[in-house]
Structure 1
Amino acid sequence: METKFTDYQLKPYLKKALAALNFYKPTPIQARLIPVIQSGKSVVGQSQTGSGKTHAFLVPIFNQLNELDQSVQAVITTPSRELADQIYAAARQLAKFSPKPIVIHNYVGGTDKQRQIQHLQHRQPQIVIGTPGRIADLVRNQALKTYTVTKFVVDEADMTLDLGFLKDVDFIAATFPEELQMLVFSATIPQKLEPFLRKYMNAPVIETIPTTTIISPTIDNWLIATQGKDKKALLAQVLHAINPYMALIFANTKKRVDEVSQYLIEQGFKVAKISGELTPRDRKKTMRQIQNLEFQYVVATDLAARGIDIPGISHVINYEIPADLEFFIHRVGRTGRNGMSGIAMTFYVPGQEQIVTEIEKLGVTFQPKRVKQGEIVDTYDRNRRAQRTKQQKTLEPKMIGLVKKEKKKHKPGYKKRIRKAIQKDEWFKRRVEKRESARAERRKNRRDHQD
């Protein structure tokens, strides 16, 4: 029997809010963790992008919130401003149906800190969402009162570690009461993160959602070999061929993002760029333009785009295969959400066949494609040669007769003469096959030209 949100002991307004979002059936991580979090246990949830972890912690937090208590009850940290904005928006959607007002504040870098401090002097939020640095600053200034917190969420913990924010998170956690429910969510659990988890978590419930369950069956994975062609020009051909609703293009470095976005702009594409070099104001402006569908193409790095939820992404393009294959799942998960169909396209260069094989081990089934006459068409599987069964070589009757004749004569050097005869015969057959193949290719080219 399938679990539904209505099966949980949720407040009536939460049921209304979830129904308004068309959320009826919980995702695997929500089904596993919502009952555990509601029981008061600390949790480590390991899952990938698109698994629904935001509502896995928001729903039980709201369900256990005391709306009459005007003190800080829950703090949620996340390493990027954009992800903080999304969690804040999701929280406001849930709070909208509450009969009693719920105060939620979002604190991120690049905003007016002094104004936030002034507001906090008059009223404390019940739920705090934000980036570790800004929340830590407000605590240090004794503006944000965190000694009443009962729930602490560390979202994207591995990225928090990678970006150097763990020290701020540690500082924030040290200000909370000992009786604290801690919820940590991460795509991976790096070894360097384990001391922090041991410091604040006592026997947490650890839930891991396998990667293979996260790749939506509604996503088609296309594999495109560059075959030594100009990669940027090939990308432009692909974009002309697909004409997407919105395409998110991933490169591995800020430099490559700059190169690709600049090239596409020169080719007449309307492109947005998301990288770590953008100022907070430019990032916010760019994200607003993307949300308003002012751009059809977005080029980004993994870290810059991590946690950014852009609705309506029809295509994800891996211009480069990520060095860490976990990021491949993050990228692909940007499309095909909420049961919608999507296409993820991966470029690979000569010599990357083994890396492609490693991706396939993650549960990805590739469809080989190529660009032909402005369209994307099916092509040969890259493993077609390896998959051919070796045919046993047999000699033709005339060669068998030659062997028997030479053996019967037993003249010196008969084995050498047999080998030469066989080699000559094979050379002649290869030459005939090559000639026939060339003729067939010319006929095919003439037909294509006539079409």
Structure 2
Amino acid sequence: MLFKNYELKPFLQEALKELHFTTATPIQEEIIPLLLAKKNVIGQSQTGTGKSHSFLVPLVNQVDPNKDYLQLVVTVPSRELAEQLVSVCQQLISKSEQPILLEKCIGGTDKKRQVQKLAAQQPHIVIGTPGRIFDLMKENVLFVQQVSMMVIDEADMTFDLGFLATVDDIASRMPKHLQMSVFSATIPEKIKPFLKKYMGNPVMVQIESEQLLSTTIDNQLLVTKGKNPDEALLELMTMGHPYLMLIFANTKQKVDELTKLIRSRGLKVAAIHGDIPARERRRIMKQIQNMEYQYVVATDLAARGIDIEGVSHVINVEIPTELEFFIHRVGRTGRNGLSGTAITFYTPDQEENIQILEKKGIEFKTVELKKGELVESYDRRRREKRKGTNKQEYDARVGGMVKKAKKKIKPGYKKKLNFEIKRQNQKKRRAANTKGGGKRK
């Protein structure tokens, strides 16, 4: 649907036109009419679907700048996500004739100054992290008693990071008739009681991405069995001169270990994870955007919480514990029609996880490092295929003998057939016993 066909205030239409937004994405097409109709909504979609505008456009449309109290609160689990949403919201309200006051509430900023500012005047919109928002409420400088709209963005990440109880504390102080919207890549079972408490019977909107990964991404599995993964990583880093390489690990400790290793080889590298202070993270992000770093090592905070432009390579030194994050990680490259390369370190004991990803529709090319080059490797399922072929060979052999036995032939042939059938049955029993953990006693 075209944005001009929605009943939006003129300043929003003007802002969208300036952003060259003409046609709504699938999630925007579903969500915008529901939020304009003041429905409670749960939106489930992957990153990069236009989710931020799907809720900010219709909810900003409902904000009344003539009222001098807080009307819309948006919570996000990380400071970086808050920065991004604030930027989107600033673009949308920039054309309003009457100023719409927006306040960013995140840790790592001057709290004393923010307390003084809020004591003097309440904003119309607040976007921030649950901890800082609730902190300002406890200081009695941020008043949510008249809030009519609340958004919980990245709800699964909010839960994973332990912020759901704080979000509950915030929402419990808002009016009973609150329009709540929740957005998440997944809806974990443990957040459902919270959703039921505040949302009643919300409208569920689930947008399945037609293409989980961009077709411009060369998605590879690097076989590291029998190799030192650290040395493999260092070799990849110096191959082909990557424009910007994002290296993912599962833990903060692993990120620190890899950063130390890379620096020991004389390479300049940035590290991003939750234990790095907010001010330091902002400084690093600015340096990355200014192309001061060619290599970045990060936890999944960067997969969901940080938007880094120009990523040419993504390296997963570990398959993420939550497989959903695989898509977020690899989706950092191959954007805006540009080509990208994603390489995931793999050993055969991880086959089950890879097969789960393949069932979701993700395709891999198996590769190995040989003489400083990535070359196509063996078929990972060759053993399974071989087993199937052998079984077919056995069955075909016995079947052929049975067919032959039906004809009038020498008596000795039937004896030979019975011996072959017996031999094949013994083989099958031995194979079953081996699979079951050994021979029976």
The question of a shared fold, defined as TM-score above 0.5 by the shorter chain, is answered with: yes
Residue in 2 aligned with 1:272? 270
Structure 1 counterpart SS, 2:238: helix
Alignment of 1:165-244 (within 5 A): 165-210=163-208, 213-244=211-242
Q: For residue 241 of structure 1, give the secondary structure of its aligned residue in structure 2.
A: coil
1:16 matched to which residue of 2?
Answer: 14
Asked if residue 362 in structure 1 is aligned to residue 365 in structure 2, the reply is no
**Any residues of structure 2 matched to 1:92-171 within 5 Å, and which?**
92-171=90-169
State the one-letter code of the partner of 1:313.
V
DSSP-derived class of the 1:337 partner: coil
Q: Pick one of 20, 34, 37 that aligns with 1:36.
A: 34
- Greater mean deviation of Cα atoms: 386-395 or 320-329: 386-395
Superposition pairs of residues 332-371 of structure 1, within 5 angstroms: 332-371=330-369
Percent identity between the two aligned chains:
53
Structure 1 runs of 4+ with >6 Å offset: none
Deviation at 1:379, TM superposition (A): 3.2
- 5+ residue gaps, structure 1: 396-407, 416-451
SS of alignment partner, residue 284 of structure 1: helix
Gaps (5+ residues) in structure 2?
398-409, 418-441
Contact 1:50-1:337 at 8 Å conserved across structures: no
SS in 2 for 1:336: coil
State yes or no: 1:326 paired with 2:302: no
Q: Distance in 1 between matches of 2:62 and 2:338?
A: 32
Give TM-score, length-normalised by structure 1. 0.82
- Choose from 246, 263, 274 the match for 2:244: 246
Counterpart residue number, 2:423:
none
Normalization by structure 2: what TM-score? 0.84
SS in 2 for 1:351: helix
Q: Distance in 2 between matches of 1:162 and 1:392?
A: 51
| Residues 228, 349 of structure 1: 8 Å contact kept | no
Q: Distance in 1 between matches of 2:339 and 2:95?
A: 30
Q: Is the 8 A contact 1:102 1:126 kept in 2?
A: yes
- AA partner of residue 121 (structure 1): A
Query: Kindly tell me: are residues 382 and 212 of structure 1, through their superposed partners in 2, closer, same or farther at Cα, counting changes over 3 Å?
Result: farther
**Size of the alignment, in residue pairs?**
399
Contact map agreement 2:247 2:297 (CA 8 A) in 1: yes
The one-letter amino acid of 1:29's match is I
Partner of 1:72: 70
- Residue pair 1:211, 1:329 contacting (<8 A) in 2 also: no
CA gap 1:24/1:312 in 2 versus in 1, 3 angstroms: farther
Asked if structure 2 preserves the Cα contact closer than 8 Å seen for 1:50 and 1:214, the reply is: no
Asked whether the equivalents of residues 49 and 334 of structure 1 are also in contact (C-alpha less than 8 Å), the reply is no
1:250-308 Cα distance to aligned partner (Å, 9 max, x none): 11111111111211222232211011221222222212222222111111111465321
> Residue by residue, what CA displacement relative to the aligned partner does 1:360-411 show, whole Å, maximum 9, x if unpaired?
112101122233343333333322454464584899xxxxxxxxxxxx9x9x
State the shift of 1:226 in Å.
Answer: 0.9
Q: Counterpart amino acid of 2:136?
A: L
**CA positional deviation for 1:70:** 3.0
Q: Residue by residue, what CA displacement relative to the aligned partner does 1:41-100 show, whole Å, maximum 9, x if unpaired?
A: 011111222222111111112222223333211000011111111111111122223333
Q: Is the 8 A contact 1:228 1:350 kept in 2?
A: no
Kept in 1: contact 2:212–2:361 (CA 8 A)? no
Looking at structure 1, the residues matched to 226 and 351 of structure 2 have their Cα atoms a distance apart, in angstroms, of 14
Worse-matched range after superposition: 147-156 or 295-304:
295-304
**Residue number in structure 2 paired with 1:317:** 315
Residues 362 and 242 (structure 1), Cα distance of their counterparts in 2 relative to 1, 3 Å cut? farther
RMSD of the alignment, in Å? 2.5
- Give, as a single letter, the amino acid of the residue that structure 2 aligns with 1:297: Y
